[in-house]
Amino acid sequence: MSLIELTDATRTVLIPDAEPLTILDGVNLRVDPGERVSIVGRSGSGKSTLLNLLGMLDLPTTGELTFEGESVTAMKSGRRDRVRGSNVGFVFQQFNLLDGRTALENVTMPLLYARGPRFWARERLAADMLDRVGLGHRLSALPASLSGGEQQRVAIARALVRQPKLILADEPTGALDVETGQSVMTLIDDIVREENAALVTITHDPAIAARSDTHFRLDRGVLSVTDARAGVGAGASAEGTTAVVL
């Protein structure tokens, strides 16, 4: 079963005194558990809009979105929020850390909504995750005292601390130098592989895109597969093209 799947999805916004704007047009995208997918596209091609659909933050205007086979479009918003909270981790270009909170507090934050043992063990789980991203010695550091690469490591720990099945990364290396960006991606890849999570990365950087199993291009709202290589998880498809995984 696919982890998340968009079928014939369109996203249209209404603009006052103008024609409706179709941002995504007939998008078909299937992401399997453990699969790593990259999406490249020019500025304004609809990448963030697509990521917001995959993150269940927005719904397609027409078409279907499913998570583990269940219709997201049919979910009540409370259930959608819970499904998102327990299953999706976000990593952004601007790390979006809370400035006045320590690294440990930032990573603990998503566990405030966890239930049972994970809630009560939240500080230990957050500290363990910071250790995994190489920041076990900086638990009390405030974001401003950390380098860009270290801040992104904190953001990665925060995205992964609930062990989501799906990680959505929007230009995760965009604010980092090339070398730091590669090491941050290696870290994301390693943890994603250990957790068997799926990873969808939006990037302008061909070297970052090349790390994925399946590659897509978004061009004015139309998604097409550009390449697929043997790897984890088969079956990504776009616009009638099936990605063949050997």
How crowded is residue 73: how many other Cβ atoms within 10 Å of its Cβ? 14
| Nearest CB to ligand ATP, comparing residues 13 and 207 | 13
Shortest distance (Å) from residue 9 CB to ligand ATP: 13
Shortest distance (Å) from residue 122 CB to ligand ATP: 33
Please, are residues 8 and 172 in contact by the beta-carbon 8 Å criterion?
Answer: no
Shortest distance (Å) from residue 46 CB to ligand ATP: 4
Of 87, 90, 94, the C-alpha closest to 52 is 90
| Nearest CB to ligand ATP, comparing residues 126 and 199 | 199
Shortest distance (Å) from residue 173 CB to ligand ATP: 14
| Nearest CB to ligand ATP, comparing residues 21 and 210 | 21
The token duo for 177 is 């130098």
| Nearest CB to ligand ATP, comparing residues 47 and 132 | 47
| Nearest CB to ligand ATP, comparing residues 49 and 180 | 49
Q: Can you point out the beta strands (E) in 163-203? A: 166-170, 198-202
| Nearest CB to ligand ATP, comparing residues 47 and 84 | 47
Phi-psi region of 219 (alpha: psi -120 to 50; beta: other; left: phi over 0): beta
Interacting residue ranges for ligand ATP, rule: CB under 6 A? 13, 15, 21, 23, 41, 43-49
Cα–Cα dist 246/243, whole Å: 10
Tell me which residue has tokens 């992104």: 152
Shortest distance (Å) from residue 218 CB to ligand ATP: 7
Please, are residues 73 and 65 in contact by the beta-carbon 8 Å criterion?
Answer: yes
Shortest distance (Å) from residue 240 CB to ligand ATP: 22
Tell me which residue has tokens 């014939």: 8
Query: Angle formed by the axes of helices 148-160 and 178-195, to 10°?
Result: 20
